[in-house]
Structure 1
């Protein structure tokens, strides 16, 4: 259902989501755990499972197409902008081909499947994710651990592995993206300190992070789902999850922005070189300007008004200022704020567990205005 062209996205979203969720509905009904008081968390009241498979999983699949479309032109941008020197084009092309080979590796995906079942299900989910002290539609706590229901067996060995595989696959692809950028950063790039984007011509990389907004929104939805179950069924309060929320936001921002830091050494070197070279150029120009216009060195009869010397002096000052304010990473504050918001927005509705909708709106307007 997937190929290199990333077709059939709508079909993949529907089929994968329903394979993960629909059998749980049927089996929970068969077990008598759809609603009622037999268990503390009946299936229809389990917000975590619905959000995970009907919201987060579709977002993880859709994000694949979004990232593919947004990042595909990046390799061409390096060449079109002459950032890769002619002598290094072959090396650059090999790095791109290597990234595609790794992305399409069957062996890598088989290893991820083994990791999901060997660690993700048996260790991470059973020990840290499943509700251990509360009876649920998928498991009943006992002295020997959790006893899975019929729906719980499908949940533990089909649904959760599908979700974890999609998630790990995304982390693997972020690793491939990081590896590609690192290999490109090993090439001696042709950076321009006076480029108006103030990152030597790499400003186009600043927009690549927006491709990951859907992925971060999926993580925010997963986080909100976990919090919701613990608020409604374990008596927790939203304020108890400040540390978890902050840690997740920092982790995701580092995951997305971290790869761009590989260009910091070359950008810092370009800035130092630019400050030195343009500083020497400015020194020569202002001395000649001073000699000509203030020390009597101008030819007799040459008018000051209308002379291009003053405009050239201003242009040189602007160029030097661009070099002086050059950043050492293609990261913008706007991008950081937007991506952090993508994680936090899915959690925002849970604030209604602590205050009324009217109070929440008033506080939000107070923050904005």
Structure 2
């Protein structure tokens, strides 16, 4: 594994995993890590409920929100560390390989990659992430009334204190999920900082580049890399949606709010950092559209003069002599090629993403909502609900 591949695998909770020996074999591979977080965050909820309150086991089985958070979202965040972390580093390194940087720019890239590594490995961030995760878990519990707001399996038969399963959820399962989430938020902040620094360099953007992004189209791969992360966020919200449907407290507005809010959050976190290149791309487009537009006009005028007998003014003749000869009669292919290139320049995008990558991330984020609906509602009702979300 190269340093670039390992770069964004650093960050919280990497040192915590090392402290509890979860970064050593066999936990260096994704599947053992997934099993570990399931054993820590999800399985004890069943075991403790079965031992202390077996009558509430059915209530736990029906708690879709809990399973969505700890059996699906938490493992997805762990999977994202391997898949997305590796690809983000390779995408950052491609700035040098793609010919976008001069020697000075390549030196700045190396310096910024080293700075990103230092930020990801900060001890204070690691400690703050864990402490904040526990603080949020405690604040969440303190804002709830045990005998009114919590499910039956999370409280003892008297309804005044937490059961062992409920205690484990707020003491271990929820902080584990929040630690992984906060670690990802910090990783995205470092990624955004790196892109912001690179956007200030004198990038060699090409208006006629076939990716229609000036040569930055490879950055769109980051959206596909974020698929597991986006699905994890969608799963958390979809679990709440399914829980509300089972209780009969959902409405079309809340369904739309959960789905739309999740998609908006994923867009801000994953697509937002790429917008720092919009200024440079717009400047490249403005220059390219004028330069290629003038060249296409000159070539079209020559073509019509040669084959259609169109007359040109003295100013057009003078401007034409200043440009290299690009049309050799009777070659029409030169005109067709230039007009195609000019059309591509005019269609240049202002954010370095392609529609397919956006669709992949969108589907990954919204797929858990479809699954939640099918788990909690009859098929015909699900179809009607989906139509309501789309219309």
Q: TM-score, normalised by structure 2?
A: 0.79
For residues 363 and 341 of structure 1, the distance between their equivalents in structure 2, rounded to whole angstroms, comes to: 17
Q: Which residue number corresponds to residue 31 of structure 1?
A: 52
Q: Which residue number corresponds to residue 87 of structure 1?
A: 104
Q: Which residue number corresponds to residue 154 of structure 2?
A: 138
Check if 1:14 corresponds to 2:35: yes
For residues 162 and 331 of structure 1, the distance between their equivalents in structure 2, rounded to whole angstroms, comes to: 33
Check if 1:316 corresponds to 2:329: no
Q: Structure 1 stretch 104-113 or stretch 27-36: which is displaced more? A: 27-36
- May I ask how many residue pairs the two structures share in their alignment? 350
For residues 67 and 333 of structure 1, the distance between their equivalents in structure 2, rounded to whole angstroms, comes to: 19
Q: Structure 1 stretch 282-291 or stretch 265-274: which is displaced more? A: 282-291
Flag the 1:364–1:127 CA change in 2: closer, same or farther, 3 A: closer
For residues 142 and 248 of structure 2, the distance between their equivalents in structure 1, rounded to whole angstroms, comes to: 21
**Superposition deviation, residue 69 in structure 1:** 2.9
The structure 2 residue matched to 1:199, chosen from 213, 218, 222, is 213
**Superposition deviation, residue 173 in structure 1:** 1.0
For residues 291 and 45 of structure 1, the distance between their equivalents in structure 2, rounded to whole angstroms, comes to: 78
For residues 333 and 146 of structure 2, the distance between their equivalents in structure 1, rounded to whole angstroms, comes to: 69
The structure 2 residue matched to 1:96, chosen from 108, 113, 130, is 113
Check if 1:157 corresponds to 2:171: yes
Q: Which runs of 5+ in 1 are unaligned?
A: 298-305
**Superposition deviation, residue 330 in structure 1:** 1.4
Q: Which residue number corresponds to residue 92 of structure 2?
A: 75
The answer on whether the counterparts of 1:21 and 1:159 sit within 8 Å (CA) in structure 2 is yes
**Superposition deviation, residue 121 in structure 1:** 1.0
RMSD (Å), alpha carbons: 3.3
Q: Which residue number corresponds to residue 342 of structure 1?
A: 364
Check if 1:173 corresponds to 2:194: no
Q: TM-score, normalised by structure 1?
A: 0.83
Q: Which residue number corresponds to residue 5 of structure 2?
A: none
For residues 336 and 130 of structure 1, the distance between their equivalents in structure 2, rounded to whole angstroms, comes to: 42
Q: Which residue number corresponds to residue 302 of structure 1?
A: none
Check if 1:212 corresponds to 2:229: no
Q: Structure 1 stretch 21-30 or stretch 354-363: which is displaced more? A: 354-363
Q: Which runs of 5+ in 2 are unaligned?
A: 1-21, 313-327
Check if 1:235 corresponds to 2:252: no
Flag the 1:73–1:353 CA change in 2: closer, same or farther, 3 A: closer
Check if 1:58 corresponds to 2:46: no
